[in-house]
């Protein structure tokens, strides 16, 4: 009976951190408070209360000023809707600017911005829909979902601005216009995220996780996973019957993956569509669009089935458009596949794999490149038994990515270059994002090993002010400089980033000479960045098909 009372209480206060107490104006001694504030409508008091913890209170209260309700759920929905409307206006501005733009690089930047803002709208819409349909007594099940989607929406706004890479007059002017257009959208999205983060704080204070936590079922899979997908993931990749087969030699239904994707039927459920790509080197640029959800690509092995390309920044391609393989749809799974950008270190930014779909799983894959090899663009991502190689910032992005049992190979860079394994793009303290490397190996590639003393290599550098990277239970070889981490430029971001290390081993794991702005974290702190805690992976990562460690 007591637990039921707690659940009912949480349902009513969870998003506003005791908004009811503020709204009715009760004093500490329990008597009714009479003051000038008494004449303020109750709905206005509720708005003030829900906006109190946000960073942009004025924008928050203005966005909710027309709300004629004290219902927490409705107030938060209105906040989500307001953020979406502002992003839509920013997208409108970007689209109009692109139509008038004649400079190729500025036009590319605006195209990337358009795509990013479009994806931001999708994330906010998903948040709005989830909020409207959920039962408040089960709110604990969905906190991570909402945090992820709102974080993704905010970060897509950052990506939009980062797309303006050129220093030409037209590009600089276009960026200024977009910064102005997107400011309100980012503020309101940040506010919405703060409201959701308040849920987590209240739940933690009550030691409450919901009444219907989506745990694994008796067969070891998430309870929400369809029977069809369970069957797919419970057998080896070689025994899965695909929906389509791609083969360069003509022995399949298609010769390219692009042709196979063009024939994927529209599905109204979450059934996985499996495409087997036979061994071969596929010189094609693949995009799994945002509407292509639950696509599984199975190769014949990470060195046998390979997608390769060479688009790069030096040759005039926007960084976010250089990816050989781009996976934007949710529920993307890749097994036994290689992804490569062969542009070389002298061509600077050149992405091999770009992943943005929420709840993506990359298993037993090889991802090779030089600078910016892997873009973890947004949302929750899990990498298991993968090899990722590169030179500068070769794992970078804005998403929430966990790497388990992976090998990070530091390649030989160009002369006078330094190597950085990671570069996280978190730029707001409320974002549920970062890079986590667990039970992995960081070492030199074969061509780098003989000359590793000639180049300084680091675990990472803070691309954005609130960059967050955690490395735990990992073997760090002597390819890594004793400092461990390096600033972005000068001392930029060193006072605000978060670099944590826990229980690592190897010569490169010695903390005695680490930079003072990195941190040796405790087991308790490290636990916050495990698969279960950081990306709620115990709810959506397949247990059998892709085994994982939920904790430390």
Taking residues 339-347, what's their average pLDDT? Answer: 98
Taking residues 242-260, what's their average pLDDT? Answer: 97
pLDDT value, residue 153: 98
Catalytic-residue membership of 393 = yes
Percent residues over pLDDT 90 in the chain = 75
Taking residues 273-284, what's their average pLDDT? Answer: 97
**What mean pLDDT value characterizes the chain?**
88
pLDDT value, residue 542: 65
Taking residues 89-102, what's their average pLDDT? Answer: 93
Q: Give me the catalytic one of 122, 385, 393, 538.
A: 393
pLDDT in tens, 111-167: 999 999 999 999 999 999 988 887 766 777 788 999 999 999 999 999 999 999 999
pLDDT value, residue 213: 41
pLDDT value, residue 63: 94
pLDDT in tens, 401-455: 999 999 999 999 999 999 999 999 999 999 999 999 999 999 999 999 999 999 9
Does the structure show a pLDDT above 50 at 245?
A: yes
pLDDT value, residue 205: 64
Using 50, 70 and 90 to split pLDDT, how confident is the model at 16?
A: very low
Taking residues 329-338, what's their average pLDDT? Answer: 96
Taking residues 42-51, what's their average pLDDT? Answer: 82
Helices (H) and strands (E) in the chain, counts: 13, 26
> What gap in Å lies between CA 427 and CA 519, rounded to an integer?
19
Using 50, 70 and 90 to split pLDDT, how confident is the model at 34?
A: very low
Does the structure show a pLDDT above 90 at 104?
A: yes
> What gap in Å lies between CA 186 and CA 156, rounded to an integer?
10
pLDDT value, residue 26: 36
Strand order in the sheet with 286-288: 286-288, 325-327, 353-355, 374-376, 395-397, 419-424, 457-460
The structure's pTM equals: 0.90
Does the structure show a pLDDT above 50 at 313?
A: yes
Does the structure show a pLDDT above 60 at 367?
A: yes
pLDDT value, residue 25: 39
pLDDT value, residue 440: 99
Which tokens is 396 given? 């970078």
Provide the 10 A C-beta neighbour count for residue 222: 18
> What gap in Å lies between CA 374 and CA 388, rounded to an integer?
8
Does the structure show a pLDDT above 50 at 544?
A: no
At residue 35, φ and ψ (nearest 5 deg) are: -155, -175
pLDDT value, residue 183: 97
pLDDT in tens, 184-239: 999 999 999 999 998 777 766 655 444 344 444 444 444 444 555 555 555 565 67
CA dist 138 → 8, 13, 102, 143, 145 (Å): 11, 14, 51, 10, 13
Does the structure show a pLDDT above 60 at 66?
A: yes
Does the structure show a pLDDT above 60 at 3?
A: no
At 525 the three-state DSSP class reads helix
- CB-based contact 281:306 (threshold 8 Å): yes
Provide the 10 A C-beta neighbour count for residue 177: 14
Helix (H) or strand (E) holding 439: none
Which tokens is 301 given? 């092995």
Q: Which domains does the chain have, with CATH numbers?
A: 43-206 (1.20.140.40), 240-544 (2.160.20.10)
**What DSSP character marks residue 378?**
S
- CB-based contact 391:371 (threshold 8 Å): yes
> What gap in Å lies between CA 130 and CA 243, rounded to an integer?
30
Instruction: Give the position of tokens 């007059």.
Output: 169
**What DSSP character marks residue 372?**
T
pLDDT value, residue 266: 84
């Amino acid at each position: 009976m007591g637990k039921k009372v707690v659940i009912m209480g949480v349902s009513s206060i969870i998003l506003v951190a005791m908004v009811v107490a503020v709204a009715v104006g009760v004093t500490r001694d329990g008597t009714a408070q009479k003051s000038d504030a008494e004449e303020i409508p109750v709905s206005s008091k509720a708005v003030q209360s829900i906006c109190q913890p946000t960073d942009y209170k004025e924008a928050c209260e203005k966005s909710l000023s027309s709300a004629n309700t004290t219902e927490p759920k409705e107030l938060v929905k209105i906040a989500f809707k307001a953020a979406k409307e502002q992003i839509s206006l920013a997208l409108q501005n970007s689209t109009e600017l692109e139509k008038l733009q004649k400079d190729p690089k500025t036009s590319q930047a605006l195209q990337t911005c358009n795509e990013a803002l479009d994806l931001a709208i999708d994330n906010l819409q998903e948040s709005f829909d989830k909020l409207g349909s959920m039962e408040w007594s089960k709110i604990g099940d969905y906190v991570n979902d909402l945090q992820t989607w709102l974080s993704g929406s905010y970060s897509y706004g950052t990506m939009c601005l980062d797309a303006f890479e050129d220093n030409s007059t037209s590009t600089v002017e276009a960026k200024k216009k977009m910064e102005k257009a997107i400011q309100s959208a980012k503020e309101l999205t940040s506010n919405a995220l703060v409201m959701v983060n308040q849920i987590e704080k209240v739940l933690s204070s009550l030691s409450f996780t919901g009444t219907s936590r989506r745990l694994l079922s008796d067969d070891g899979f998430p309870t929400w996973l369809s029977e069809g997908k369970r069957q797919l993931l419970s057998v080896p990749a070689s025994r899965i019957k695909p929906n389509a087969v791609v083969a360069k030699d003509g022995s399949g239904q298609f010769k390219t993956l692009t042709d196979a994707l063009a024939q994927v039927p529209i599905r109204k459920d979450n059934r996985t569509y499996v495409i087997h790509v036979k061994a071969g080197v596929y010189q094609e640029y693949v995009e799994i669009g945002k509407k292509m959800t639950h696509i599984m690509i199975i190769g014949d092995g990470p060195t046998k089935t390979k997608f390769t390309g060479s688009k790069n920044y030096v040759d005039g391609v926007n960084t976010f458009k250089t990816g050989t393989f781009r996976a934007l749809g949710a529920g993307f799974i890749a097994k036994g596949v290689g992804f490569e950008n062969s542009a070389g270190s002298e061509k600077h930014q050149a992405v091999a794999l770009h992943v943005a779909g929420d709840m993506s799983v990359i298993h037993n894959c090889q991802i090779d490149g030089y600078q910016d090899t892997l873009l973890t663009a947004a949302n929750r991502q899990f990498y298991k038994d993968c090899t990722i190689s590169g030179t500068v910032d070769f794992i970078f992005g804005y998403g929430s990515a966990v790497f388990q049992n992976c090998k990070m190979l530091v390649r030989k860079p160009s002369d006078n270059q330094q190597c950085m394994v990671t570069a996280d793009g978190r730029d707001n303290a409320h974002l549920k994002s970062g890079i986590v490397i667990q039970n992995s190996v960081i070492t030199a590639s074969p061509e780098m090993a003989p000359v590793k003393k000639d180049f300084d290599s680091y675990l990472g550098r803070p691309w954005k002010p609130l960059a967050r990277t955690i490395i735990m239970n990992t073997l760090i070889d002597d390819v890594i400089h004793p400092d461990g981490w390096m600033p972005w430029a000068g001392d930029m971001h060193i006072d605000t980033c978060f670099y944590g290390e826990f229980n690592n081993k190897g010569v490169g794991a010695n903390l005695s000479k680490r930079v003072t702005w990195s941190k040796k974290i405790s087991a308790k702190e490290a636990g916050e960045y495990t698969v279960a805690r950081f990306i709620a992976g115990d709810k959506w990562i397949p247990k059998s098909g892709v085994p994982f460690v939920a904790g430390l």
